[in-house]
Amino acid sequence: MIHIKNHKTLTELLRLAAIVMIALVIGFVITASVSKEPVRAYTALLTGPLPRVSFAHGVEITNLNRFGNWLEESTTLILLGLAVSLVFRARQFSLGAEGQVLLGALAAAAVAVKAPAPFPLHLLLALGAAGMAGFLWGLIPGLLKAYLAVDEIVCTLMLNVIALQLFDLVLLNWLRDPSAGFLGTAAFPASAVLPLLIPGTRVSWMLVVMLAAVFAVWFLMERTPFGYALKMVGANRKFAEYGGINARRVIALSMAVSGILAGLAGAHLSLGLLKRLTVSLAPGLGFEGIVVALLARNDPRGVLVTGLFYGYLRTGAQIMERSSDVTREVVLIIQAVIILLITAERLFPPFQQWRRTRNDGGAIAIDHEFGG
């Protein structure tokens, strides 16, 4: 059994490596068709986020800020990917992370500005408020879905609109700094700001919190009764209820707990990166978490890897846009092509069939019959 599992992992890694190479080649072709210096532009995409180490005058590290940008992007994306994967594991398609990010950032900002306290109590209160805001905003569609059979896609999309309006209302009427030259709060006091982990960057201790969250979500899914119930409800809700699982409670809690992670992602944006709250807070970022979760197939350990990969791709794309003649639209096309090819389940079908035949002993015919 261990041999089969290791063999499946190896073949899957080989498939992904081949798909990534094909995607990168296609991306270079697109770059070459629009750029006068395609090699330079594509090099910026692939190596831009990496730090440079020089030994000319001792050990000197440059481009540390770009490396920091990669970790900053990845930290937020991984938290959002964990939030989405928790809901997807129960076969619920929630799109509410966007609103939970906004309200998490708003709650953290409200505590930072309006509830002074010494460090680290002030910071812990702000993080707790962010997590609680996300929890409550996730619990609403969870209860509506579980007890009133409200469609979770429509419900979470509409709640995102409400969250955006609440965000603007509270920020502009109660938290806004009138003396600032922009729509936002005053700079947060040091007691409410996430301490730096890597000097010279904005990488804060939220990176450690994110790693702890990866382990916590994995443990929750794989080693707890709630995680087992989550899998059973996702596999077959009627069978789970027949076995004594309270499917309604599982659905409601999965959405609520996922909101905590999305709320912490919002706190990372406000308390760690911006150190204040502005009216335009990373629009669309909540939907990026869906991409991360789908790439990882809702596995928390995979979310860590795919979040780092996707964050690297986003950071490299920004560097490519700034340092070459490739426009943002082309960068987004290249990014989308790479993601689409990686998520293509049926790329290399002969290879897939050979893998399943070896592992399942001829069960491929049955699997194909049911669209597997």
Kindly report the three-state secondary structure assignment for every residue of 229-289. HHHHHHHCHHHHHHCCCCHHHHHHHHHHHHHHHHHHHHHHHHHHHHCCCECCCCCCHHHHH
Coil, strand or helix at 196: strand
Nearest Cα to Cα of residue 5 among 372, 360, 272, 302: 360
Q: How far apart (Å, rounded) are the C-alpha atoms in residues 348 and 19?
A: 9
Q: Is there a domain that residue 361 lies in?
A: no
| Position 205, amino acid | W
Q: Is there a domain that residue 168 lies in?
A: yes
Per-residue confidence of the chain (372 residues) as pLDDT tens digits? 455 556 666 776 677 778 778 888 888 898 888 888 889 988 888 888 888 766 656 555 677 888 999 999 999 999 999 999 999 998 888 899 999 999 999 999 999 999 999 999 999 999 999 999 999 999 999 999 999 999 999 999 999 999 999 999 999 999 998 887 788 899 999 999 999 999 889 999 999 999 999 999 999 999 999 999 999 999 999 999 999 999 999 999 999 999 999 999 999 999 999 999 998 887 888 888 998 998 888 899 999 999 998 899 889 888 888 888 888 777 778 778 877 877 775 555 544 454 455 444 433 333 333 333
Q: How far apart (Å, rounded) are the C-alpha atoms in residues 202 and 270?
A: 12
Q: Is there a domain that residue 173 lies in?
A: yes
Q: Is there a domain that residue 290 lies in?
A: yes
* CA dist 1 → 11, 14, 79, 297, 302 (Å): 15, 20, 33, 22, 21
Residue 361: beta bridge partners? none
- Count structural domains, the chain: 1
Strands 60-62 and 52-54 turn out to be antiparallel
Nearest Cα to Cα of residue 172 among 267, 277, 258: 277
Q: Is there a domain that residue 208 lies in?
A: yes
pTM above 0.75, yes or no: yes
The residue range of the domain holding 296 is 67-308
